[in-house]
Structure 1
Amino acid sequence: MKNITLGISLFFTLLSYAQVSTNKAHDAIVEEFLTNCAEKHNYGFEMSEWQECLDQGLKKDSTVAYLWQQKAMPYFKCKKYEVGMPYLNNAVLYNKQEWLPYRGFMKCIFTKNYSEAIIDFEECIKLYGNGYRMDHTYSFYIGLCYLQLNEYEKAEKLFDDYVADIYKNRQQLEHPTAYFYQGIAKYELKKWEEAIAVFDKALKIYPQFSDVKYYKAICWLKQGKSREEAIALISIAKEDAAMGYTINEDNTVYETYPYQKKFSK
């Protein structure tokens, strides 16, 4: 029995050592071929040089997940989704915990493959719990996907739970985008009064939130409020949008988010 215990202990010691050694080896490859090579180039106009550096690193070790993700990333940013996704799939293959939620995010916000995004995020929750990616929980993105698939009741439940969790924990500050989508779910379910109440919470945090003002104005119209008041609020929303006050997620630089209002000039 003592020998078995010692054997198990030795196995886990060697496994831990192997993981540390692998991580150090991967870090060295990332430094050599990403930091000191690819990042010397601007992938906006030197894509081939960027990719050649990463390819050299992957020839050295094809299991470095971060290099696969870095191959995918610039293609997504220039909307070459079909080119980038196979590289991202390889990143998930070699480091699922890190890159599966990222792939779900890319499918939700960039490629708009909502059913596939739900599958990725549900697997994330099953394997790792309801963690965060890009400032929001995995269930938040599932809610976005349900909005885009017209499954509004499912979306409402997820956003209600998300906002309640934020309020309960308080470690995560109340987020105007969370309120926006909670309100949108209620708007789609024709719960005009509830939607307005939630939109007002978003505006309390972010008074210039143009998208919220637009949908609040539509709710007013649906309630029978005067057309003049609704149009006045839409005009204010349009002015706010012209100054850049829209959904303030980082990736709105690259993609339009669900229900983000683009006002004509």
Structure 2
Amino acid sequence: MSLIPEVLTSRELLVNLTLREVKGKYKRTALGQLWSLLNPLALMVVYTLVFSVIIRIDPGPGDPSGIDIFAIWLMCALLPWSFFTNVVNGGMSALVGNENLIKKVYFPRYVLIVASALASTYTWTIEMAVLAVAILLVGGNVLPYLPLVLLAMVVLLVFSLGVAMAMSVANAYFRDTQHLMSILFMVWFYLTPILYPVAEVQRQSDRVGPVLGDVTIVDIYRLNPMEGFSDVFRSLLYDNRLPAWGSVLECVAWAVAAFAVGAWVFQRHQRRLAEVL
């Protein structure tokens, strides 16, 4: 049985697990769900101070929005990145954290990964809504593009789910996976145009020239799937324009490929998870 039918037949379990994740994340904290806003705001303040005041990176005003606020430009890519890493990290810990449940009763193991991802989506939606309001307050015309932003969020969710399913299986077999991923995410973060514009990479690529035949540094750089997602979200939110079709197709292709591979890996191993854990 494929992933989608299995999840649909376990809708009630999925809803209950998602609600448990949402309610339990900030249980017994004074600020509750406000922590979901304070964490990215703290990162925004630190990165804005370092990269727009000290190092002075200037991405330029949005075209054609005219918005010229580094903090908003930063958040348009930082929030999708944070969501992606939260889904993958949550997926890796979902199986290990529910080891007793998996060993006691059979149910579609996919549900644990999907529930964790939906809980992260709930938090991300709140963060993106606050960002949209901030863009409106500074004069951005983001309202016509919100439906496309929602579609982009769904595509990123599919991509993140695919990676999370594959990594959750790897972590069940090799617990070192979660530690290796933390290092990979640190490197991946700085290889993604979150703190600096792609124009900086293009400038260095033009200076160095081809590195392998006709292949340039920027050609290799654009193989990063999160580069395409960053471009799409910044185009819609910061620039208030339609993203390039190349970036859109790239994101969809990565999402379909990641989900297909992740679902295949998970389906092959899910019946053995009780033994492995």
Output the TM-score relative to the length of structure 1.
0.25
Output the TM-score relative to the length of structure 2.
0.24
